[in-house]
Amino acid sequence: MHSVLLTILPIATDNYVAFTFFVGTMAMMAASVFFFFEVGNTDPKWRTSVLISGLITFIAAVHYYYMRDYNLATGQSPVFFRYVDWLLTVPLMCVEFYLITKKAGAKVALLWKLIAASVFMLVTGYIGEAIYPTETQSWIWGFVSSIGYFYIVYLIWFGEVAQLAEKAGGAVRKANRTLAWFVLVGWAIYPIGYIAGTAGGLFGMPVLSGLSLDVVYNIGDAVNKIGFGLVIYVLAQSDRVLAKA
């Protein structure tokens, strides 16, 4: 028992997968501390949004702490906990879109649409990655998952979220435009990781062979979770009622 508790699994210097799990854990922890402390330095109307930015990176930090260990101990990809993390954090990102557009009239129905589309995207992606990981099945489920993804892209770029953000104007409009790029470009990192992990890669082409799915997902998470939170933070800071001295 003691040997189990005291065992330290060293990360080999050429083990990039384990290294990105380690750096990911640290980055998510640091971002969480930052967002949590900044809540007190935020205009009251944006506090919930900044708090949720911190919850997103905090949930990821806890998962990364575990996934880093899992990967070092087993050499395997922590697929299940990866998707548990996403199932918690991606709907919270949907909540952010709802909160920033709420004052312009966003209804709870819009929040549910975003959450439903993200859960659909993630559950079907999990089926293709973990339950039926054969080449044909992975491609089919990957395409099905993409329907959910493109629906979210549509809502944020042209649909209700975009319209409400334009109506709100100012800092909200600006923030939504930046977040829309995160969803279009930053979130597109994930299908690349998915394909890297699919049997046969990109239809047998060598472009993604040798690329680790975990390295791609870890980069995607750092860019999207921390980046997303920072956009919300900048919005909150730019839209504060300055006390007149």
Query: Which residues in this chain contact ligand RET in the complex, by CB under 6 A?
Result: 86, 89-90, 121-122, 125, 142, 145-146, 149, 187, 190-191, 194, 221, 224-225
Least distance from C-beta 224 to ligand RET, angstroms?
A: 4
Angle of helix 135-157 relative to helix 160-168, nearest 10 degrees, comes to 30
Nearer to ligand RET by Cβ, of 71 and 138: the residue is 138
Kindly provide the b/e burial profile for residues 208-227, where b requires at least 16 CB atoms within 10 angstroms of the residue's own CB: beeeebbbbbbbbbbebbbe
Nearer to ligand RET by Cβ, of 168 and 176: the residue is 176
Residue number of the CB atom closest to ligand RET: 125
Least distance from C-beta 44 to ligand RET, angstroms?
A: 27
Least distance from C-beta 37 to ligand RET, angstroms?
A: 22
Least distance from C-beta 91 to ligand RET, angstroms?
A: 10
Least distance from C-beta 3 to ligand RET, angstroms?
A: 36
Nearer to ligand RET by Cβ, of 70 and 151: the residue is 151
Give 10's contacts (C-beta < 8 A, 6+ positions apart). Answer: none
Least distance from C-beta 228 to ligand RET, angstroms?
A: 8
Nearer to ligand RET by Cβ, of 49 and 224: the residue is 224
d(CA 4, CA 151): 47
Nearer to ligand RET by Cβ, of 46 and 151: the residue is 151
Nearer to ligand RET by Cβ, of 49 and 168: the residue is 49
